[in-house]
Every structure is written in structure tokens, then in C-alpha cells.
């Protein structure tokens, strides 16, 4: 029987809750109709809760308060969208209510929840019942009511889930938008997913979640009458900032106004037609660290008209998958006789531990199941008029062939073979999406990506050949000889999407110098490029490559990310790749916090 949580237990519980929200983000996106049916509640909550994982992983804390203080501060910075900002305020107030606590008892947990939801209501200009606010409030009230008679956290959380589920069911009838679409509140379901994940740490089997009817969601989106246009957010840093004064200045500029945080750090969210005026007002209160204004009218239309499906082998960061509405089909990693979906059932960190151990040969990979594509197309064709599937090279993986076969059972699905992989394919996916949104016909897009592919360049360095040899993509004798002599093999991707050896170099420094020379020789210094740098576990080399690119080339974006686990299994420890895709004409820089932008 456990009636209090130690820091390590709290950490694991919070991470489990965050992971459960992230895993279910697509379902949350599908039912998101309030306050705007733009289908991004899941993505926004995923980005908000991803900061929980990034904060807590590989960290140890001596008290629950210090843990929650750091988590809530980072959530406040990374929160996205209406629901994300509400959650960040709730966690922020929750952490402050536990000041000085080393462990958290059931009584502490309950009292903090009640205080937190009170502060959250105060942060919102016009709280709306029948939403996530109602669900959290009713759960908080029940938590206080039962806290004196329940002495076990498992029983406590199990009961709160049941309360949350009943409260969530009632949201169907609470708001006209939810009633018309016949769905529950997406933010409220996100809270239930969090509670469910939190409880998973204490029990083996999760409880069933709400069964939702979704057949009217798209009908509702089609009939949606537009309100304010821009979802505007600002992260504001200052001293002794006047929260009430800020709310008063902004309240007549729009709706869904939230001002969360404290006098030194605020996250402001508002739906408005005048984002620049919002920025101007807030600049008078402190320093703007982050600002954005998403066009919700455009998002609603785009997400109804188009859906995009990609492989996890694109090596894009989570930001791009979520911001650009990409449905990701994960590759599978096979280990110990079991198959795991990368990024879902197994993490990059898990794979790296095995990859650098004596059992690395037990790692294998597999393409997604054919049923994954059928299920994805069945879902996407219901909510979008046209579906675009974009895949890594058909000569590197069978995903393209499986996708084409599955797509024949549906209308209005177009499948592209990028003939690239890793971030090169990811950059091509972003380019295809740009052309789709601009209204380019499919045949024009296909001709354009063929041209772009011919003018793109990829250079990949393998620190060892053993993984490629073990995967059957290089000769055994030659691979052993190369490693024995200390050479690093440098390869590229040819126009047909095959891996092709370019050259080799002696030692890691020699390989780096050769990469720099190849980039200088192969790229046009008068053109602008999108660059991608993917690596297995070589952040120090990435730093040198990025500095080299910034000093020698004109660039729009530099996207840096670890390779996906499936590619890491073949590339092996120490592998890295540099990819350049030309940018033509007028261009807009993508506002990703994970990329570097140039002139």
C-alpha cells in the first residue's frame, strides 16, 4: 500500500502520463472541434508534454517540489495552444502548492489539485464549462473528498480516472459544438489520458477510455462559421509584470485569453484578428522571448482538404511532424524475438543502449505492417479530401510498395517515392507539402521533385562498416578490411535512390575534411539550400558541420536531429549524414525551434 510518492516515483508517474498523451495525440486531433475545429489539440498537448519527458529523463531529484518546479517552468515555456497553456498553468500552480515538499502524500496531491484548478480559472478571462476545465475541476473536488479515506495511490488514481471518464462523457451535451459533432472535449480527453498514464506506473493494465462517436466531426468542420483568425501566443519575460493589467489591455482584442505564469515569466494565449497589436502591447511589459500567430482559418481548411502520411525514417523532429500535419507510420525494430514500433514502443535511447552493447547483432529492423497503411488510409480519407503519402527511397525500403498497394483501395490518394532517406527525404516531404498547399497539380509536383532530387546532394559517413555488413548491405570481407585499416567509408544516394560509395578517408578527422571538400565541390555557392544533419550519436561532429555550413553557404533552414532507430541499426554508432536540397525563388523561413535559419 503506497500513500505517498517519492521523487523517483513521481518522476516515473509523470513521464508515464506524458507518454500516454503523446501516444494518443492523433485521436485527440481527430475529435478537436472546440474552441476552433482545427484538429491540433493532440499535437499541441504532445508538444507541451514532451517537455516533461525532456526535463525528467536521465535526471535525479532530491524533492518532489524541485522536480515539479523544473517541470512546470519548462511546460510554461513550451506550452502550445489553448489546452496546452491551460495544462501548463495547472502544473505551474500545482508545483507552487507543494513548495518545500520532499514527498507527495494523497492529501498533498488532492489539496494541490484543488488550489491549482482555482488558479487556472483565475488565469482565464472567460472560463467555459463543459471543457477540460470542468473535467479537472470535478476530478479535483472528488480527490479532496476521498483523500481522507483512501490510503493507496493506485486505488486513488483508479477512482479519479472513473470520475474523469464520467465528467468527460457529460461534455458531449455541455457545448453546442461538441453536441453537434457528437464528441467529447479533446482537452478533457487529454487529461484522462494523462491520468491513465500516471496510473500505469502503479498497475499493469490501463482502464478503458471513453468510446467516442466521430462520424459527425467532419460535417461539423464543414459547417464551421469562422471566428477570430489568429491563434496568437507570446512567452514574456520581465520583472513585477502586471498580470491583471495585461488581461485588461488584451481582453477586448479577442477571445480564449489566457495569461499564465508569474510576474517574471508569462505565457499569453489569445485568439484575435490583430496579432501585431497584441505583440506591441506586450512588448511594453517585458521582453518577448517567443511569439507566434497561426492562421486558424487556413489551418481548418488545410486539415479538411489535405492529409499527409510519411515514414518515420524521414528523421524530422517532432515539431515538423506535428506542425505540418504529418501522420507518421513507424518502422519496426526487432529485438529478443519481439517487434517494437520505433518512437512508440521503443525509444532511440533504448536502441542506442543495445547498439553499443555486446548484443547489437540481435537488433533487426522491419518495415511497417501492410495493415498499418490500410488503417491509416481508412482514417485519413474520412477526414480529408485528398491524401498524400511520401516515402523514403523504394530502393532502400519496401514502404513505398506497400503504401502503393494499400492506396489502390481508396480514392484520392497520391503516393510519392522521394528516392531519398533520412532528413533528405524529410526535406523533400516538406517541399511536397508546400507545393500541395499552394495548389500545384500532382503531375507538376512529381516533375518538380525529380528535378529537385537531381540537384540535391547527400554525403554520409560510416564510422564502422560492421552494422551495414550485418544488415546485408555491404560485403563481409571488404567491410572487415576497411574497419581493420581505420578507414571511414563515405557514401551518397544516387538518382535512383541507391546507396553509392563516393570515397573513403583515414580516421574521423580525415573523413570530416573530406565531407567539407565534397560539399564545397558539389554545391552551388550562389544558391540557397535547406540543409539537414542526421547523426546516430555524434553531437560534437554535428557542431563542426553546422558551423561549416553557416560560414560557407547560403541557407534557409538547418535541421539537426538524431537518426531514427531503424536507420541507426544500419548506420551504426558514430554515423552521420549531411543533406542539401536547393530552394528556388521567394521562400519563407520555417519557424521551428529546432532549426537554424540563415540569410
Cα distance between residue 202 and residue 159, in whole Å:
13
What average pLDDT does range 268-278 have in this prediction?
A: 92
Percent of the chain exceeding pLDDT 90 equals 48
CATH number for 234: 3.30.1370
Cα distance between residue 238 and residue 348, in whole Å:
37
3-state secondary structure at position 335: strand
Which tops the pLDDT comparison, 102 or 29?
102
Of 538, 448, 460, the closest CA to residue 499 belongs to 460
Model confidence at 165, in pLDDT bands (50, 70, 90)?
very high
Pair 322, 354 in one domain: yes
Lowest model confidence (mean pLDDT) among 311-315, 375-379, 468-472: 468-472
User: Does residue 471 form part of some domain?
Assistant: yes
What average pLDDT does range 96-117 have in this prediction?
A: 94
Number of domains forming the structure of the chain: 4
Q: Which residues contact 569 (CB under 8 A, 6 or more apart)?
A: 333, 351, 355, 363, 364, 365, 467, 471
Q: Has residue 237 got a pLDDT over 80?
A: yes
HSE, side-chain direction, 13 A CA sphere, residue 19: 19
Q: Has residue 35 got a pLDDT over 80?
A: no
User: Does residue 291 form part of some domain?
Assistant: no
Which tops the pLDDT comparison, 210 or 322?
322
What average pLDDT does range 64-74 have in this prediction?
A: 93
Pair 117, 242 in one domain: no
User: Does residue 296 form part of some domain?
Assistant: no
3-state secondary structure at position 43: helix
Pair 148, 29 in one domain: yes
Model confidence at 469, in pLDDT bands (50, 70, 90)?
low
CB 247 within 8 A of CB 125: yes
User: Does residue 297 form part of some domain?
Assistant: no
What average pLDDT does range 21-44 have in this prediction?
A: 81
CATH number for 493: 3.30.1180.10
Q: How far is CA 487 from each of CA 178, 436, 507, 511, rounded to the nearest angstrom?
A: 62, 43, 6, 9
Q: Has residue 520 got a pLDDT over 50?
A: yes
Does the bond joining 370 to the residue before it have cis omega, within 30 degrees of 0? no
What average pLDDT does range 331-348 have in this prediction?
A: 83
pLDDT, residue 125, reads: 86
Pair 97, 135 in one domain: yes
Q: Which residues contact 135 (CB under 8 A, 6 or more apart)?
A: 164, 167, 168, 171, 185, 188, 191, 192
Q: Residue 338 is placed in which grid cell?
A: 519481439
Residue range of the domain that includes 427 = 303-453
Model confidence at 207, in pLDDT bands (50, 70, 90)?
very low
pLDDT, residue 38, reads: 66
CATH number for 162: 1.25.40.340
What average pLDDT does range 350-374 have in this prediction?
A: 86
Lowest model confidence (mean pLDDT) among 377-381, 397-401, 469-473: 469-473
CB 15 within 8 A of CB 57: yes
Which tops the pLDDT comparison, 222 or 534?
534
Pair 373, 446 in one domain: yes
Model confidence at 204, in pLDDT bands (50, 70, 90)?
low
Write out pLDDT tens, residues 473-490. Answer: 554 445 444 444 456 888
What average pLDDT does range 53-68 have in this prediction?
A: 90
Last residue of a domain, one of 285, 311, 328: 285
Last residue of a domain, one of 222, 250, 273: 222
pTM for the full predicted model: 0.66
Cα distance between residue 437 and residue 306, in whole Å:
8
Model confidence at 470, in pLDDT bands (50, 70, 90)?
low
The DSSP annotation for 341-383 comes to EBTTTB-HHHHHHHHTSTTGGG-EEEPPPHHHHHHHHHHHHHH
Long-range contacts of 346-351 (CB under 8 A, 24+ apart): 346/565, 347/565, 348/562, 348/564, 348/565, 348/568, 349/57, 350/565, 351/565, 351/568, 351/569
Q: Residue 27 is placed in which grid cell?
A: 485521436
Amino acid at each position: 500500500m503506497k500513500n505517498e510518492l517519492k521523487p523517483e516515483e513521481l518522476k516515473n508517474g509523470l513521464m508515464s502520463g506524458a507518454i500516454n498523451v503523446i501516444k494518443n495525440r492523433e485521436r485527440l486531433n481527430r475529435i478537436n472541434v472546440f474552441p476552433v475545429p482545427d484538429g491540433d489539440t493532440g499535437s499541441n498537448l504532445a508538444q507541451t508534454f514532451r517537455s516533461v519527458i525532456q526535463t525528467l529523463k536521465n535526471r535525479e531529484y532530491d524533492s518532489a517540489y524541485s522536480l515539479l518546479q523544473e517541470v512546470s517552468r519548462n511546460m510554461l515555456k513550451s506550452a502550445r495552444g489553448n489546452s496546452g497553456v491551460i495544462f501548463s498553468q495547472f502544473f505551474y500552480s500545482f508545483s507552487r502548492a507543494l513548495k518545500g515538499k520532499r514527498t507527495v502524500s494523497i492529501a498533498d496531491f488532492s489539496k494541490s489539485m484543488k488550489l491549482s484548478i482555482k488558479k487556472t480559472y483565475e488565469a482565464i478571462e472567460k472560463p467555459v464549462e463543459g471543457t477540460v476545465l470542468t473535467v479537472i475541476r470535478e476530478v479535483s473536488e472528488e480527490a479532496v473528498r476521498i483523500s481522507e479515506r483512501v490510503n493507496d495511490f493506485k486505488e486513488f488514481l483508479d477512482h479519479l480516472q472513473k470520475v474523469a471518464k464520467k465528467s468527460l462523457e457529460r461534455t458531449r451535451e455541455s457545448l453546442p459544438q461538441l453536441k453537434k459533432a457528437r464528441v467529447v472535449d479533446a482537452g478533457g480527453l487529454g487529461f484522462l489520458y494523462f491520468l491513465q498514464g500516471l496510473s500505469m506506473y502503479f498497475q499493469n493494465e490501463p482502464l478503458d477510455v471513453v468510446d467516442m462517436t466521430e462520424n459527425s466531426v467532419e460535417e461539423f468542420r464543414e459547417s464551421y462559421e469562422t471566428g477570430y483568425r489568429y491563434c496568437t501566443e507570446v512567452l514574456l519575460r520581465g520583472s513585477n509584470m502586471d498580470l491583471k493589467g495585461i488581461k485588461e489591455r488584451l481582453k477586448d482584442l479577442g477571445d480564449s485569453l489566457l495569461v499564465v505564469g508569474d510576474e517574471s515569466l508569462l505565457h499569453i494565449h489569445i485568439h484575435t484578428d490583430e496579432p501585431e497589436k497584441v505583440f506591441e502591447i506586450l512588448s511594453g511589459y517585458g521582453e518577448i522571448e517567443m511569439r507566434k500567430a497561426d492562421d486558424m482559418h487556413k489551418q481548418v481548411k488545410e486539415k479538411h482538404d489535405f492529409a499527409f502520411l510519411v515514414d518515420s525514417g524521414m528523421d524530422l523532429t517532432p515539431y515538423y511532424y506535428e506542425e505540418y500535419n504529418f501522420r507518421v507510420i513507424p518502422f519496426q525494430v526487432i529485438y529478443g524475438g519481439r517487434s517494437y514500433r520505433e518512437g512508440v514502443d521503443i525509444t532511440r535511447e533504448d536502441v542506442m543502449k543495445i547498439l553499443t552493447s555486446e548484443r547489437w547483432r540481435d537488433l533487426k529492423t522491419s518495415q511497417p505492417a501492410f495493415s498499418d497503411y490500410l488503417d491509416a488510409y481508412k482514417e485519413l480519407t474520412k477526414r480529408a479530401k485528398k491524401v498524400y503519402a511520401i516515402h523514403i527511397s523504394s530502393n532502400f525500403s519496401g514502404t513505398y510498395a506497400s503504401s502503393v498497394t494499400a492506396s489502390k483501395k481508396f480514392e484520392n490518394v497520391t503516393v510519392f517515392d522521394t528516392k531519398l532517406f533520412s532528413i533528405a527525404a524529410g526535406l523533400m516531404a516538406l517541399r511536397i507539402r508546400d507545393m500541395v498547399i499552394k495548389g500545384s497539380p500532382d503531375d507538376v509536383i512529381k516533375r518538380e521533385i525529380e528535378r529537385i532530387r537531381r540537384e540535391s546532394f547527400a554525403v554520409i559517413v560510416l564510422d564502422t562498416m560492421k552494422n551495414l555488413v550485418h544488415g546485408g548491405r555491404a560485403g563481409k570481407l571488404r567491410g572487415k578490411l576497411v574497419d581493420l585499416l581505420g578507414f571511414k567509408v563515405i557514401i551518397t544516394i544516387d538518382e535512383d535512390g541507391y546507396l553509392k560509395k563516393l570515397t573513403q578517408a583515414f580516421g574521423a578527422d580525415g573523413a570530416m575534411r573530406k565531407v567539407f571538400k565534397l560539399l564545397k565541390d558539389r554545391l552551388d555557392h550562389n544558391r540557397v539550400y535547406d540543409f539537414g544533419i542526421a547523426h546516430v550519436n555524434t553531437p560534437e561532429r554535428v557542431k563542426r558541420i553546422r558551423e561549416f555550413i553557416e560560414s560557407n553557404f547560403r541557407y534557409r533552414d538547418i535541421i539537426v536531429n538524431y537518426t531514427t532507430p531503424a536507420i541507426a541499426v544500419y548506420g551504426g554508432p558514430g554515423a552521420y549524414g549531411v543533406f542539401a536540397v536547393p530552394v528556388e525563388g521567394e521562400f519563407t523561413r520555417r519557424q521551428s525551434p529546432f532549426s537554424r535559419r540563415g540569410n
